[in-house]
A and B are shown apart, each in its own frame.
Chain A
């Protein structure tokens, strides 16, 4: 099941060589350590750049988003099983 969250979250990230990599984030009072970044992509909302990351931690997939202009992170989606959504 894929669940839409769209909530601001606190993120520890590494900025290096013009790139940003989320490492740890806090959600529902839990510290979640990112094991792997599966994919990162960029979208535009008007002139604002949004960076998206799908990351895995403890067999769960999370989608994080970083809004560059407002310097805010949000948790967009959580996927608890590979089912995404079923027929």
Chain B
């Protein structure tokens, strides 16, 4: 059976959502920033992109490029809502749906295309559903091809609101037009190495002798690159229910300004641990490696400690990280903090503690989790955060998190 893959990609996702929500922003250059006072654009509308504004452009630079830009704070709740609705819509047309990031999915319609007509009809229906159920200002580009590599390239060839099918006939033409950055899997470093060898275009790879390619890129990448140059890709669709559970959970936070007081720095660490550890408890997982990242303008440190015991108790993990932080003897301000819990295991594979004090903590935390599930995040929180302005959970594009959320939903559906 011929495989048919669709890649569906929202164009300028966050900025389009803001334009959908606020019609006065439509047709105007819009930049989304994380929060008021933040200095980097995390998404730009097409009108802003045309003026040279990109993700990662600093606000001060934007003022030069496009002084009339309208900056809006990100509202991750609404983006998350659309992602879930979008995923729901895609599931109408196939059971093989891979959520590849917040704003893109792969859909294997090999078996279902006939039910709706053909793959083109499905693309048409998807666009219609999105327009009618989500909004008229949320353009998507859709690529149709025989594999993921080509489908993703196809959706990238025409933006916004494109529909491109790569077939046997236009394959070489499409590959010939592709920039390296449009090829999923070719990162910046690989691209640079290709350029160093004088390869500036994907099709050139076809004629590079095997020995040379292998010498330059090793056995794995030489084969991958060769396949890419012919538009071949055998990677399967991974429906989210088949995603492996992540091996770490992490939470990072960039502060608005440098923070100097140890008490305040520790409060942020506690806050981040609180979220990461809660996520683990709800997913019935536990870890035994506890890590900390600290950064300022000039300095950067990463420390972690690996224990024999597993934990998902935020207080306990915080104490580990507090020791790590104090051992840094950090001088000066802190601008960025990150925590992670690694070497994760599922709780039911671990033996239960016999220590009464550990079990008391488990009971307390389970009550805390129930209250926060019922009434919202941080309804109950550690007293050490009383003086702090609490950092709330936010949506990110990290799909390991999506898998954890899914597991939490599965578990809470049972209980």
What residues of chain A have their CB less than 8 Å away from a CB belonging to chain B? 36, 38-39, 41-48, 52, 54, 56, 59, 61, 79, 81-87
**Known contacts A42-B81, A84-B25, A85-B73; can you find 10 more A-B pairs with CB under 8 A?**
A38-B23, A39-B20, A46-B373, A47-B375, A54-B22, A61-B22, A61-B24, A79-B22, A82-B22, A87-B69
Q: Of B23, B28, B72, which one neighbours A36 at CB under 8 angstroms?
A: B23
Closest residue of chain B to A39, judged by CB?
A: B21
Complex-state Cα separation, A79 to B372, whole angstroms: 32
B62 touches A87 (CB 8 A): yes
Interface residues of B (CB under 8 A from A): 17, 20-25, 28, 36, 59, 62-63, 69-73, 77-78, 81-82, 135, 372-377, 379
Given A82-B70, A83-B70, A84-B72, A43 and B77 contact (CB-CB distance below 8 Å): yes
**Chain B binding surface SS class:** helix
Query: Nearest Cβ in chain B — how far from A67, in angstroms?
Result: 12
Complex formed: what's the CA distance from A39 to B28 in Å? Answer: 18
Interchain Cβ contacts under 8 Å between A and B, 30 examples: A38-B135, A39-B17, A39-B78, A39-B135, A41-B82, A43-B77, A43-B81, A46-B372, A46-B373, A47-B373, A48-B375, A48-B376, A52-B78, A54-B22, A59-B24, A61-B22, A82-B22, A82-B24, A82-B25, A82-B28, A82-B70, A84-B22, A84-B70, A84-B71, A85-B36, A85-B71, A85-B73, A86-B71, A87-B63, A87-B69
Distance in angstroms from B256 CB to nearest chain A CB is 15
Chain B residue with the shortest CB-CB distance to A44: B376
Q: Which residues of A contact B78 (CB under 8 A)?
A: 39, 41, 52
Decide: A54 and B379 in contact? CB cutoff 8 A: no
Chain A nearest Cβ from B255, distance in angstroms? 20
Given contacts A43-B77, A84-B72, A87-B63, contact A38 B376 (CB under 8 A): no
Please measure, in the bound complex, the distance between the C-alpha atom of A52 and the C-alpha atom of B81, giving whole angstroms.
11
- In the bound complex, do residue B71 and residue A38 qualify as a contact, i.e. CB atoms below 8 Å apart? no
Q: 5 closest A-B pairs (Cβ-Cβ)?
A: A82-B24, A46-B376, A45-B376, A46-B375, A41-B81
Contact (Cβ within 8 A) B23 A61: yes
Are B21 and A54 closer than 8 Å at their CB atoms? yes
A79 to B73 alpha-carbon distance, docked (Å): 13
Tell me, rounded to whole Å, the shortest Cβ–Cβ distance linking A55 to chain B: 10
B73 to chain A, nearest CB (A): 8
Smallest CB separation, B189 vs chain A (Å): 34
Q: Complex Cα distance A45/B379, Å?
A: 10
Contacting residues, chain B, for A82 (C-beta < 8 A): 22, 24-25, 28, 70
Residues of A within 8 A of B375 (CB): 45-48
Q: Which B residues are in CB contact (< 8 Å) with A36? A: 23
Min Cβ gap A60→B in Å is 9
Q: Does A46 lie within 8 Å of B374, measured CB to CB?
A: yes
C-alpha gap A72/B32 in the complex (Å): 30
- In the complex, which residue of chain A has the Cβ closest to the Cβ of B379? A46
Nearest residue, chain B, Cβ from A42: B81
Q: Which residue of B lies closest to A36 (CB)?
A: B23
A36 to B136, CA, bound (A): 13
Chain B: minimal CB distance from A5 (Å) = 16
Instruction: Tell me the complex Cα distance, A56–B22, Å.
Output: 8
> Bound state CA distance, A46 and B393, in angstroms?
13
